[in-house]
Structure 1
């Protein structure tokens, strides 16, 4: 309880890290709703002045890159948290997908922004740890299946080839008013 003679509580400035996180959270929401949102729109959604956004990010490209860096870090953390699964490759793959799913859900906005704002090389680099982990799990499944006398390697290899192909293929353009979405066929 404060007395009439005690000074008012000191208001501390918000943490730079917390402000940056609020801006990035607002950017995910706003860009998810409207990909052409301006930095001013994002500032309003974050509850900060536009100049504060520019203090953290030089422009839209830097903001999207900030989102990409956060997504890459979230992917690395999820893979580390997944650890070494107990059980066979099927359990490992299920565990991996369930661990990574929340990251993909949180950063799904980047799927639409990545081709235009990040480019295919940067996008591929961001996803490399997840792709390599999945490929390792699938390779282990193939190795185990091929060492089993009753296995059918030709059938078990097809899904893993398709997944590896899909994860390394560039993202198709986002569907627009004149663009129909078509899924490419794996080799």
Structure 2
């Protein structure tokens, strides 16, 4: 390859990307959608889908891996030992909300299976979030009535609830509202929670 030139994706790579994009959109609308529906949205025949993914499960795992890559890319910016855990959590939620909304329905679908491979794909993001929550608990900023891993699950469920409400037209808030809601869930007083969100947005 000549210096300064980029390799163009092959037809197979373009097909795979089209299938993944289509699957993400279709499964967001209908978590029980079939591979035929994914193929139709991608503009390919079912055989082409099977040429990349041997089953619907394999396709979902591939989507979760893509989501994990997005999350993990942003994890590098998270300081789990930050002296301002509330502000750090708010900033993390602000950065990851768009990814969470894009992939949330697929991740929720995948979690139904409790698949070890899927859990492993999301583990780096969950691990650093738990560390940040533990930091906030030690500092007395976050509630200590339950362990940090449980709080992480509570926050995930809350994010999913916001996403569903937005899709149904029952909620029209933004990522700042999500960050505020999560901090309130963690026991941060409202005035302090709003201040933390403000710090995260500056």
Matches within 5 A, 1:64-79: 64-79=60-75
1:158 lines up with 2:144 in the alignment:
yes
In 2, Cα distance between equivalents of 1:34 and 1:138: 33
Does the Cα contact within 8 Å between 1:74 and 1:103 map onto a contact in 2? yes
In 1, Cα distance between equivalents of 2:9 and 2:117: 35
- Compare relative contact order (CA 8 Å, sep 6+) and give the higher one, 1 or 2: 2
In 1, Cα distance between equivalents of 2:73 and 2:13: 18
In 2, Cα distance between equivalents of 1:18 and 1:158: 48
Cα gap change, 1:156/1:93 in structure 2, threshold over 3 Å: closer, same or farther?
closer
Does the Cα contact within 8 Å between 1:124 and 1:168 map onto a contact in 2? no
Q: Structure 1 residue 24: deviation in Å?
A: 0.9
Matches within 5 A, 1:5-154: 15-80=11-76, 82-84=77-79, 88-116=84-112, 118-119=113-114, 121-143=116-138, 145=139, 153=140
Does the Cα contact within 8 Å between 2:68 and 2:125 map onto a contact in 1? no
Q: Structure 1 residue 140: deviation in Å?
A: 2.6
Q: Structure 1 residue 141: deviation in Å?
A: 2.8
* Structure with a larger share of its residues in helix: 2
Does the Cα contact within 8 Å between 2:67 and 2:103 map onto a contact in 1? yes
Q: Structure 1 residue 17: deviation in Å?
A: 2.4
Give the match's secondary structure for 2:33: coil
Q: Deviations over 1:94-127 (max 9, x none)?
A: 11111221221111222442244x4254443333
Q: Deviations over 1:74-109 (max 9, x none)?
A: 1211212x2549862222111111122122111122
Task: State the structure with more CA Rg.
Answer: 1
Q: So what's the TM-score if we normalise by structure 1?
A: 0.65
Aligned length: 150
Match of 1:5 in 2: none
Cα gap change, 1:64/1:42 in structure 2, threshold over 3 Å: closer, same or farther?
same
Runs of 4 or more consecutive aligned structure 1 residues displaced over 4 Å after TM superposition: 83-87, 168-171
Unaligned runs of 5+ in 2: 1-7, 158-202
Unaligned runs of 5+ in 1: 1-11, 146-152, 172-187
RMSD of equivalent CA atoms = 3.3
Does the Cα contact within 8 Å between 1:26 and 1:45 map onto a contact in 2? yes
